[in-house]
Amino acid sequence: MWLRFILLSLLFPLPGWSQDPASNLLHLRQQYFRDIGHPLDGRMRKEADGLRSAYLVPLFASSHAANLLSLRNGDLLCFWFSGHWEGDSGVAIVMSRLAAGSSGWSRPVVVDQSEGESYQNPVGFQSSDGVIWLFHTTQPAGKGESLSRVLVLQSRDNGKTWSRPKVLFDTPGSYLRNPALIGPAGDWLLPMYFTSAGNGGDTKTDHPAIAVSGNEGKSWKICEIPDANSRVQPSIFYDPGKGYVALLRSRRADHIYRSTSADGCHWTPPVATSLPNNNAAIQALRLPDGHILLAFNNTSAEMKDGRMRTGARKPLTLALSSDDGLTWSAFRDLEPGRSGVTDMSKVPGREEYSYPALALGHDGRIYVAYTFRRETIKVVSLPENWLTASVH
């Protein structure tokens, strides 16, 4: 890990960095502490209204696209990608752990990294035999998402060690974002999508699909969602007796879209919901009481200088649905962002609170992890009644 850190710091140094990796990490934490105003040490600290939050330790200059995985042993894992910047060489998949009963996240470790490649969008999944599957994308550095493929690694010791990565889906433009689930018949459903050059719009390959495996990952069938150009990154959940629901991001930055399926493979054309989307990731989670929790940026495209432009990646909002995503209530902003700040330049520190991930901890609390200004990953835990305690 340290060798990789040294190579990246030599290729992409930050102001004040040296060739000592420990010194570089300390410098990074100090720099971001001054910007964020909170310790970046992974400790879950109590806040108002029953919230607890932590800022995870940064390993590299930027951090993005977290996903959470609640393990059977009570641990909670957080995966994300981190490096100089999205799409650059050596961007790594990293992981931090909140051990059962602990009040602090571990210092992150590099799980997978390769010079000349840019890794992105890790998705963790634990199968019925306890094996952890880690899916993530890879693309040639600087070449764009249209050349991406999906890799998979496995861990048989709860994420302490990992196998070497193997190619799972090699169709150019194969991409992931949201977690897999196990259906009532034991089928695995892995949401994915296919992208073109990454510019969005109506393109032949910019569309969603669900990869379905009936033999525990030995083979996969790609089930495309029809009439869904510009709809990507499906987040899926299952309602017993009713079937599957997918909520989708829109490249057009207009609305969140909704599709349904009885069997997880044959899907209805997506229909716009009442919720806005800013062409950024969303994630849904079915709670034990049957409510659907959704995390999203509550904004859409807006007019700037006479042109429609993608909306800001803030606020980060939570909402509940009691009818499988047909209607929504109990909206509450988890992260409003800085008032009057709109900078979205491609550097850490920009005004972005995005790519939320949701999980239910063994302590009964809801955990939300998300990109915090591309500098770190912030994790917040809350009780479900936080959403209804101050509805607005």
- ∠ Cα 370 121 323 (to 5°): 60
Tell me how many domains the chain contains. Answer: 2
Q: Burial of 166 by CB count in 10 Å (0-12 exposed, 13-18 middle, 19+ buried)? A: exposed
* Contact of 369 with 77, CB cutoff 8 Å: no
Structural domain contains residue 21: yes
pLDDT of 64 over the 70 cut:
yes
Is the domain of 149 the same as that of 272? no
Is the domain of 41 the same as that of 127? yes
Q: Which range (179-193, 225-239, 259-273, 307-321) has the least confidence?
A: 307-321
pLDDT in tens, 232-246: 999 999 999 899 999
pLDDT in tens, 152-209: 999 999 999 999 999 999 999 999 999 999 999 999 999 999 998 644 444 446 899 9
What single-letter DSSP state applies at residue 145?
G
Structural domain contains residue 163: yes
Is the domain of 211 the same as that of 153? no
CA distances from 314 to 125, 253, 267, 272, 339 (A): 28, 13, 30, 21, 10
- pLDDT attached to residue 311: 75
Is the domain of 195 the same as that of 286? yes
Look-up of token digits 């890879």: 138
CATH number of domain containing 275: 2.120.10.10
- Backbone φ, ψ for residue 373 (5° rounding): 60, 20
Task: Give the strand pairing for 283-286 and 271-276.
Answer: unpaired
pLDDT of 37 over the 90 cut:
yes
pLDDT of 276 over the 60 cut:
yes
Is the domain of 302 the same as that of 327? yes
- Kindly indicate the confidence band of residue 305, based on its pLDDT and cuts at 50, 70 and 90: low
Is the domain of 156 the same as that of 242? no
Q: Where are the alpha helices (DSSP H) in the chain?
A: 2-11, 21-36, 386-389
* Contact of 353 with 335, CB cutoff 8 Å: yes
- Kindly indicate the confidence band of residue 310, based on its pLDDT and cuts at 50, 70 and 90: confident
Q: Which range (75-79, 262-266, 293-297, 302-306) has the least confidence?
A: 302-306
Q: What residue numbers bound the domain in which 149 lies?
A: 1-176
Strands of 267-373, DSSP E: 271-276, 283-286, 292-297, 302-304, 307-309, 316-321, 329-335, 353-360, 366-372
Task: Give the strand pairing for 376-382 and 366-372.
Answer: antiparallel
Structural domain contains residue 375: no
Residue ending a domain, among 291, 309, 336, is 336
Number of Cβ within a 10 Å radius of residue 7: 15
Provide the mean pLDDT of the chain. Answer: 91
pLDDT of 371 over the 70 cut:
yes
Is the domain of 172 the same as that of 208? no
Structural domain contains residue 264: yes
Structural domain contains residue 376: no
Q: pTM, whole model, 2 decimals?
A: 0.92
Structural domain contains residue 366: no
